[in-house]
Amino acid sequence: MKKYDYIIVGSGFGGSVSALRLAEKGYSVLVIEKGKWYSKDDFPKTNWNLRKWLWLPSMRFYGIMKMTFYNHIAILSGTGVGGGSLVYANTLPKPHSNFYKNGSWAELADWESELSPYYEKAKQMLGAVLNPKLETGDGILKDLAISRNQESDFSLTDVGVFFGESEDEVDDPFFNNKGPKRSGCTYCGACMTGCMHNAKNSLDKNYLYLAQQLGVEILSEQEVYDVIAKGEGKGNEGYFVKSKSSTKFFKKKLEFEANNIIFSGGVLGTMNLLLKLKEKSLPNLSNELGNSILTNNESLIFSVTNDTKRDLSKGVAIGSILNIDEKTHLEVVRYGEGSGFWRLGMLPIARGSNIGSRFISVISTFIKNPIKYFKLAFTRDFAKQSIVLLFMQQIDTSLQLKKGLFRLKTKLSSGPRPSAQIPLAFELAEQYSKLNNGKPMVLLTETVLNIPSTAHILGGAVMGSSAENGVIDKNNKVFGYENMMICDGSMISSNPGVNPSLSITAITERAMDRIGVKVS
């Protein structure tokens, strides 16, 4: 049984930051990741290659994106070495001030001030730069802003992408040649199926790459299923960590020993594991575990056009943003040419309080424009002629994740039930689609079941002043156990209202800064 100073469960934004910073302080570190290693040549060319795009082990699909459906929300998340960075839209906005003043963490620190230098460090490490190119879909969003007298609220996004002068490979441009060689962005729009051009600043090209140079071990295709506190069961003597294969029929089991453990498997990974462990191996975890699950109040609406002269697939995945108000934001999201998988689940926007009225709404909408909707459904290249409108808000709705009979289940915790029918989102989608000479369409689960989708599930292990109102303290240490931390989207204690990757990185940087150098 090999022993480490730290074992990190998960290799996403929290896990990768932790790995590098701990290695720099002299600690021995093992990162355990259930997903696979992916290089630029391994990614699917389009999202029709489900085996490489979707994570669905029951079907022997071991791709980079996972879709999970609950009775309140549908969740898109990432898998693989580098976690969500492999499949995310590389967009790195800093939240507005409301983010720091709401939620269970609000009174624990002056967060906006404290996190400011860590946001800058995170942006530098992730190579965040202003998107230099306004493409067709972004131009339409700017036109929408102008039509709403909000041109000053439109801007290009900060993105983690290398915009080299050519597509030729060059020496590392970010870390004084300590990082891997890179190639310039081609604006192909395929960021979310995995960058095949070596231009996306995913975590395997910065934090994890540098961590490996310092001796960090990364074990892929292994899923942690048990963590046992040694000694008196408080973690002061360390932990035994057990894992099994996540991709093989015959589940090879491994066991390790660690002085410290950090959970960084993302909200679903961390909640799924810790809610199981609380019943047996780690009973002292706070009863708040699984509470305060935040959805960012998102809506994903496609704007589909019959105008074949337009190519909406060109650009970085998210190249622009419109700040509708202080709490509401709209981004345009694209997929690369040929990635038309989502067309299989598209229906017109439907309004109604129950499934019957929504079904009638869909039929009525189709009858009014049957030829147009038929053409939209069978457009030659759906990715070229569609763009996703990502609507995000800061509101106080929260869910609870609970352990069910066979899998986790959701329960409404506070605020209104999450809804796929957000009037302002529909209004903006219709305005955008009019400028796009198209029609707004949504996923079948939203029209039929009124279940919204989110790519930014957060919370479940929020910060608090004690175990009575949080799972971790302001320094990410778990209440009830020593030498245990949580550093991933679970720790986010307030709706950011924007893409959360930069915030997860910055908060983890702060947590790691509070750990001392290893004393021999």
Catalytic site residues? 456
Torsion of CA 216, 247, 74, 454, to 10 degrees: 30
Judge contact between 8 and 29, C-beta under 8 A. yes
Which DSSP category does 444 fall into?
H
Which are the contacts of 192, defined by CB distance < 8 A and separation ≥ 6? 65, 87, 88, 89, 317, 333, 335
CA atoms within 13 A on the CB side of 29: 29
What's the 3-state SS for 105-169? CCCCCCHHHHHHHHHHHHHHHCCEEECCCCCHHHHHHHHHHHHCCCHHHEEECEEEECCCCCCCC
State how far the alpha carbon of 124 is from the alpha carbons of 168, 207, 373, 508, in Å. Answer: 23, 11, 45, 15
User: What CA–CA distance (Å, rounded) separates 382 from 27?
Assistant: 49
What are the backbone dihedrals phi and psi of residue 126, each rounded to the nearest 5 degrees, phi first? -90, 0
| Nearest one of 266, 262, 269, 255 to 19, comparing CA atoms | 262
Burial of 252 (0-12, 13-18, 19+ CB in 10 A): exposed
Q: How far apart are CA 298 and CA 457, in angstroms?
A: 10
